[in-house]
Amino acid sequence: MEPVYILGGGRTDFKRNLKKEGKTLRHLIVEAGQKALADAEVDPAEIQAAAVGNFNGGQFTRQLHLGAFVPEIHPALHGIPTMHTEAACASGSLSVLLGAQWVMGGFHDAVLVVGAEQQKTMSSLDGSDVLGAAADYHIEKPEYGDFMFPKLFGRIAQIYIEKYGASEKELSWVAYKNYAHARLNPMAQMRDADLTYDCASQVSEKNPSVAPPLKVSDCSQITDGGAALVLVSGKYMERMGLEKSKYPRMLGFGSTTDYLALEKKDAPTFTTASKAAEKAFGMAKLTPRDMQGVEVHDCFSITEICAYEILGLADRGKGAELAMSGATALPQVRNEKMGGSIPWEIPVNTGGGLIGDGHPVGATGVRQVFEAYQQLTEQAEARQIEGCTKFLTFNMGGSLTTSVAMIWGRN
């Protein structure tokens, strides 16, 4: 297979409200794409194809056929083939994977990948119903009612706690840690929020219960945002005289699809999701202990804890313990409350994750890889992982239905 390199990337500020700015999904795609092309310092005429990840622009904004906005990024992109990928919250990572496979297979030498979602277009109740399309809507909506996804993941948390004897305090550590990371990220939605552990761990007027044991702080944000990447082949790098060792390369990937309904899955182990990680590690010939940084899909705090175990960062039933140890926090935010015996340092969700950075659904998988790119090229500034050369991303859609794991590295 032809090697795949990240030549550059870009993203938008996730704190923005596009509707208030008088802008639409079109503007997110164009802005993110232009930032990626500028960062890559690539002639737009070199781009041969583009993929756009988006979950539900049709309901959130009444707009689909999103590949047709790619030519608006730059006139040189007019006429290239485009494709839109959708797999709920994994829509963005599938676009990255699609673009990478185009390069691997020798179909294209330079591709643009964009992920975007505009969600602040309706009430929280209506928005929750739109998000319900990522679940088995006609079966699970009657069972779980309004705000279906917090309730689905509240159920996952209940199953985890019953099986492994964990408690709500571990969930609070995940939220506390990701808010702390977000304060180091100038593009994060919650960068100005100061969530204390006491606030994260207690039900209060400021932090009400949503779907026990989940509180508001355990939930990801409703977000408008976009992210984009330029992926190129090894042949392209050679033709342009670029030094390969300076750019992140895809080392391995895995993608799996489980049943849609939660009751058909083996929660909280999610062995189908684990197969995606196993494929990625097998292709890369690496292990979880070889990673210096990880981005996981923390749509809710319990999902991050499950992801530790799905990815092999912790043994089954030990994910909550890993969170409590402080091992997944950046050293620059770890304090006396995070501590005890740290088995190994593996910073997770260095930009704040979905909880702290934000969750523009179709953009999240692309944003995760952009975070990997920034870490691997030492551009992460205050949240930089020292000596980062191997990075894992894990994006999922639905209630752990579609799972995509990717490993990126730089020599």
pLDDT of residue 339: 54
Neighbour tally for 63: CB within 10 Å: 16
pLDDT of residue 169: 87
Name 283's Cβ contacts closer than 8 Å, sequence gap at least 6: 251, 252, 253, 254, 407
Active-site amino acid positions: 89, 359
**Residues 304-324 as b or e (16 or more Cβ within 10 Å = b):** bbbbbbbbbbbeeebbbbbbb
Name 126's Cβ contacts closer than 8 Å, sequence gap at least 6: none
pLDDT of residue 93: 98
**What is the identity of the amino acid at 346?**
I
Query: What are the structure tokens assigned to 162, written together?
Result: 């019953």
pLDDT of residue 121: 98
pLDDT of residue 338: 59
* CATH code linked to domain 4-122+223-246: 3.40.47.10
Query: What are the structure tokens assigned to 350, written together?
Result: 């260095």
Q: How far apart are CA 409 and CA 411, in angstroms?
A: 7
**Spans of all domains in the chain:** 4-122+223-246
pLDDT of residue 165: 87
pLDDT of residue 226: 98
Q: How far apart are CA 174 and CA 245, in angstroms?
A: 34
* Contact call for residues 26 and 72 (beta carbons, < 8 A): yes
The pLDDT tens digits for 100-125 are 999 999 999 999 999 999 999 999 99
pLDDT of residue 332: 87
- Determine whether 208 is exposed, middle or buried from the number of CB atoms within 10 Å of its CB (0-12, 13-18, 19+): exposed
pLDDT of residue 337: 57
Cis ω before 81 (30° cut-off from 0):
no
Q: How far apart are CA 341 and CA 404, in angstroms?
A: 31
pLDDT of residue 400: 98
**What is the identity of the amino acid at 98?**
L
Tell me the Cα Rg of the chain: 20
Q: How far apart are CA 385 and CA 379, in angstroms?
A: 10
DSSP notation for 148-170: HHHHHHHHHHHHHHHHH---HHH
Place of tokens 């739109």: 130
Of 224, 262, 253, 258, whose CA–CA distance to 361 is shortest? 224
Of 218, 289, 272, 230, whose CA–CA distance to 396 is shortest? 272
Of 371, 359, 369, whose CA–CA distance to 397 is shortest? 359
Tens-binned pLDDT, residue by residue, of the chain (411 aa): 999 999 999 999 999 999 999 999 999 999 999 999 999 999 999 999 999 999 999 999 999 999 999 999 999 999 999 999 999 999 999 999 999 999 999 999 999 999 999 999 999 999 999 999 999 999 999 999 999 999 999 999 999 999 998 888 889 999 999 999 999 999 999 999 999 999 999 999 999 999 999 999 999 999 999 999 999 999 999 999 999 999 999 999 999 999 999 999 999 999 999 999 999 999 999 999 999 999 999 999 999 999 999 999 999 999 999 999 999 999 988 865 555 567 789 999 999 999 999 999 999 999 999 999 999 999 999 999 999 999 999 999 999 999 999 999 998
Q: How far apart are CA 371 and CA 345, in angstroms?
A: 18
Taking phi over 0 as left and psi of -120 to 50 as alpha, with beta for the rest, 352 belongs to: left
Instruction: State the pairing for strand pair 4-11/225-233.
Output: antiparallel
* Contact call for residues 120 and 224 (beta carbons, < 8 A): yes
Instruction: State the pairing for strand pair 49-53/82-85.
Output: parallel
